[in-house]
């Protein structure tokens, strides 16, 4: 079996630059297989995979030899399933939110994951797509946490203000930790393959705002 994977949160307060300098992927560790019963599997380090934006960095991987599932340890600053970092993505969206128009924002923002020769129409599409993705994500998160975020607008600026942080998306990795495998990119992490349950994950509590678990 190949290609089965799951992402776990690599709790980290490092910035991208600090992570690269410290080779943070070497410090990622997992005490035990998150899939198998204790003692049933010898979890192995499984090298790294490379990310290229905003510069070359690596993400540590582990392998569960029993199931063939690889486990990527994504540090909190990285966007999931998109290039780049959450702070860079969020900053682009924040600037677009206060710009007089998407065109003006696109003119000003230099997308970090597009080649230097980016044209204005390309940059406009880039900004529109990110606005849509992030605003839709924030609306979903607000629905999950109405007590904390119910009065926010689904914007980066409103979330930053409410959470008193310079990067709402990074803060949400912690705040939404138990929802990460159900949330979309770039906040949510790659969920385990169908039928696989991660150990140590609590079932949604009946009093919480969780949607009912998907039927297998
Ligand atoms: Zn295992």
Residue 37 Cα to ligand 1 midpoint, Å, equals 8
- pLDDT attached to residue 205: 41
Q: State yes or no: cis peptide before 54, omega within 30 of 0.
A: yes
| 73 or 206, higher pLDDT | 73
pLDDT in tens, 65-123: 999 999 999 999 999 999 999 999 999 999 999 999 999 999 888 665 566 557 888 88
Residue 180 Cα to ligand 1 midpoint, Å, equals 21
Residue 183 has pLDDT above 90, yes or no: yes
| Token couple for 108 | 């000003």
- Residue written as tokens 């150990």? 199
| Token couple for 38 | 């204790």
Q: Are 198 and 35 in contact (CB under 8 A)?
A: yes
Residue 44 Cα to ligand 1 midpoint, Å, equals 9
- Judged by average pLDDT, the poorest of 136-140, 159-163, 201-205 is 201-205
Residue 33 Cα to ligand 1 midpoint, Å, equals 5
Q: How confident is the model at residue 209 (pLDDT cuts 50, 70, 90)?
A: very low
Dihedral pair phi/psi, residue 131, rounded to 5°:
-60, -45
């Amino acid at each position: 079996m190949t290609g089965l994977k799951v992402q776990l949160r690599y709790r980290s307060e490092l910035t991208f630059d600090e992570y690269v300098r410290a080779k943070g992927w070497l410090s990622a560790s997992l005490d035990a297989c998150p899939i198998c019963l204790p003692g049933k599997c010898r979890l192995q380090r499984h090298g790294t995979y490379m990310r290229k934006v905003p510069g070359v960095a690596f993400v540590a991987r582990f392998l569960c030899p029993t199931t063939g599932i690889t486990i990527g340890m994504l540090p909190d600053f990285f966007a999931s399933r998109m290039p780049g970092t959450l702070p860079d993505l969020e900053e682009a969206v924040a600037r677009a939110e206060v710009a007089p128009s998407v065109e003006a924002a696109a003119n000003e923002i230099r997308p970090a994951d597009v080649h230097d020769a980016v044209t204005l129409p390309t940059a406009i599409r880039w900004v529109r797509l990110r606005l849509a993705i992030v605003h839709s994500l924030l609306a979903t998160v607000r629905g999950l946490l109405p007590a904390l975020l119910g009065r926010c607008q689904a914007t980066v600026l409103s979330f930053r203000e409410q959470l008193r942080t310079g990067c709402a998306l990074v803060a949400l990795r912690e705040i939404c930790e138990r929802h990460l495998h159900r949330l979309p990119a770039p906040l949510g992490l790659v969920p385990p393959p169908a039928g696989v349950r991660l150990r140590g994950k609590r079932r949604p509590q009946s009093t919480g705002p969780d949607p009912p678990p998907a039927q297998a």
